[in-house]
Amino acid sequence: MEKTVCELFAGVGGFRCGLNNINTLEDTNKDEKWKTVWFSQWEPADKKTQWAHSCYVNRFGDCPDNNGEYTTNDDINTVDKSSVPDHSLLVGGFPCQDYSVASSLATSKGLDGKKGILWWDIRDMLEAKESKFVLLENVDRLLKSPAKQRGRDFGIILACFRDLDYTVEWRVINAAEYGFQQRRRRTFIFAYKNTTSYAANAKHAVKYNNMFGEEMKRKSMVHLIEEEGFFAKSFPVDVTDGKKIKSAELPKGIGELSDSFSFNFENSGVMKDGIVYTLKTFPKYNGKQITLGDILEDGEVDKSFFISESKLYYTSPDIHHSDETKMPLEPEQRKTWQYIKGAKKINRKAANGHEYVFSEGPVPMIDEYDKPARTMLTSEGGFSRTTHIVRDKMTGKIRLLTPVEMERIQGFPSDWTKDCLIDGEQVPMPLNKRRFMMGNALVVDLIKQMEPVLDEIISGEPEIEVQFNIAEGLEIVKESL
């Protein structure tokens, strides 16, 4: 099967960089192993300039649809999915702000939120194009959304795949646990049509009749999750006795599922024929650990990234907490990094008049060289507890991350987001937009590590139709004429 790709919610091209092992800007001039036939990137917040799309086109060029029209920067809701070129692999880091770790789970709106509903565009694309294979990325909190009905949103996604005749594998992966340079946990979903030879292969999917029994099914799913599945081969885990695997049947109707379904999904699992099997797995990795110090620039950095002493501290650098229940701080003291990242206690009054003490613990003010970077968010660079502050390698002074360092943390080539193509001319992307793009991206290195397994699967995929003889528990593979 030809390795053709449709990339939804493409951002600045993380999936494409990973699949084609793009490590430098010059690599974009080489023939791509995976041919992207169409992509979609539209950001409603960018009213005047579509910065992500312009960066993507600057690096890769644009893709016409089957009608010869350029719709890659249209709102995906308005795109005629049938006009998208056929492809063997659909990929996408579908918008996740409604589940984001930047906000509390209790306030996230999940699939009911403005961006959560974009899941349905993926579903519509799958229905229209019948993509054989699917690889998606989202935040790890997707498995537990929404707070009042844990697991409902992910259950709806799995049920959609079930109704479109897919089997699904998933895994929550922390990039740092496999040696990469960022502590970033994300849910990855790999789905494949039940008519593919990959699904028919006895190592990946077995069609049971009643003679096999539930215990045999559970053991086979443990084997799939821990040893033979897509994620097990891409990111090995320790093998367990499998006794803690849980299972549940998804309700037949999406409406019923939406109203009442709740389930505690673990970090790994499989959905086959509407039955969910899930197991907590533990990463198996003994290789080199890339750290923040490994990717920091060691040359001269522009002075605009450095933080003045007055903005760093309002008192002794050894103080890591403030207690305003005794004496309030001056407004200028609160505008320091020492304050925003330190522990604090503040008297507050609720809307109903109830008085209480708000408190939070400290976070390290300066990020250490010898550990992977913390999770980078779209607010990177702003006056926030989550912004990275580092000690410059050349001068020893304290500063913010540079755009190149942010790109390296996400595994992109240096200066990937430096320029955009707008109206046929290259223009620089603003610093705040470069920060946003990287906070919104995936870790490209993870896709690079998945690529050899994807290559093996799709390269070995003939154009076949698979049928199952349930009565005998056997597989019948009939070559398409």
Question: How far is 233 from 43, CA to CA, in rounded Å?
Answer: 34
The token duo for 238 is 């320790």
Q: Which residues neighbour 242 within 8 Å (Cβ) at sequence distance 6 or greater?
A: 218, 219, 222, 223, 226, 279
Residues 358 and 380: beta-carbon distance below 8 Å = no
Q: Which residues neighbour 153 within 8 Å (Cβ) at sequence distance 6 or greater?
A: 99, 110, 111, 116, 142, 145, 146
Question: How far is 444 from 17, CA to CA, in rounded Å?
Answer: 7
Helix axes 119-129, 152-163, angle to 10 degrees: 10
Give yes or no: 96 in active site.
yes
- Classify the C-alpha dihedral 233-234-239-245 as positive or negative: negative
First vs last C-alpha separation in the chain: 15
Question: How far is 360 from 383, CA to CA, in rounded Å?
Answer: 17
User: Other C-beta atoms within 10 Å of 274: how many?
Assistant: 15
Please, which contacts does 378-385 make with residues 24 or more away whose CB atoms are closer than 8 Å? Answer: 378/102, 378/435, 378/436, 378/439, 378/440, 379/102, 379/439, 380/406, 380/435, 380/436, 380/438, 380/439, 381/431, 381/432, 381/435, 383/335, 383/337, 383/340, 384/340, 385/340, 385/341
**CA-closest candidate to residue 180, choices 281, 266, 295:** 295
The token duo for 440 is 């919104």
Question: How far is 301 from 324, CA to CA, in rounded Å?
Answer: 37
- Classify the C-alpha dihedral 173-205-130-152 as positive or negative: negative
Question: How far is 450 from 368, CA to CA, in rounded Å?
Answer: 29
Tell me which of 55, 63, 96, 160 is the catalytic residue: 96
Catalytic residues, by residue number, are 96
